[in-house]
Amino acid sequence: VSQSRYETVLKLIPYSSGDRFTLIMPDTVFESKESYRFENLQSDLDLSLWKIRSDQYGKLGQVLIAPDGKVLDCVDKDPRCRYEHVWGAMTFNRRFIECLDYDFPHVGYGIEKALKLQMKVNGMVLPGRYWDCGTATEYMRYIRTISVLN
């Protein structure tokens, strides 16, 4: 039994013979006509990124990327941060697992550690919007938005 989603990831990986793993946060929704896919990439960690909405600053993990997609920095839930993208899904290899620690609040803290260790971290900006539905307020905001669209 694990105490968090993060601990679940760490406990399940040893049972897999795979070299790459994909993690999508279970309390999120993202709208995109493009599918989330990272195939045959050579990086240690690949992040799916979305353009941040004004109401999301300080609530999510924000990412600074170079024009070539290289991730330069990641800041978690800092209202002063003005990075234009948020991450919501990741694909990683076994090397990235070295960056994970049971003391981290969530797996996103491994992104910062991977950057400090100079691992290859890339991001791909996807079209559409990203919704963190982990709170009732955010979930209702999403429901109101899709209700207006229908």
When comparing pLDDT for 149 and 9, which is higher? Answer: 9
Query: What are the tens digits of pLDDT across the range 56-74?
Result: 999 999 999 999 999 999 9
- Pick the most confident of 24-28, 82-86, 87-91, 129-133: 82-86
* pLDDT greater than 80 at residue 35: no
102-129: average pLDDT: 91
1-19: average pLDDT: 80
In this predicted structure, what is the pLDDT of residue 50? Answer: 94
In this predicted structure, what is the pLDDT of residue 73? Answer: 98
Q: What gap in Å lies between CA 77 and CA 19, rounded to an integer?
A: 30
Q: What gap in Å lies between CA 60 and CA 79, rounded to an integer?
A: 9
26-48: average pLDDT: 77
In this predicted structure, what is the pLDDT of residue 150? Answer: 61
In this predicted structure, what is the pLDDT of residue 31? Answer: 80
What is the average pLDDT value for the chain, to the nearest integer? 88
Q: What is the 3-state secondary structure (H, E, C) of the chain?
A: CCCCHHHHHHHHHHHCCCCEEEEECCCEEECCCCCCCCCCCCCCEEEEEEECCHHHCCCCEEEEECCCCEEEEEEECCCCCCCCEEEEEEEEEHHHHCCCCCCCCCCCHHHHHHHHCCCCEEEEECCCCEEECCCHHHHHHHHHHHHHHC
> Which amino acid belongs to residue 86?
V
Q: Comparing 9-18, 37-46, 101-110, 141-150, which segment has the lowest mean pLDDT?
A: 37-46
When comparing pLDDT for 93 and 9, which is higher? Answer: 93
When comparing pLDDT for 22 and 114, which is higher? Answer: 114
Give this prediction's pTM: 0.89
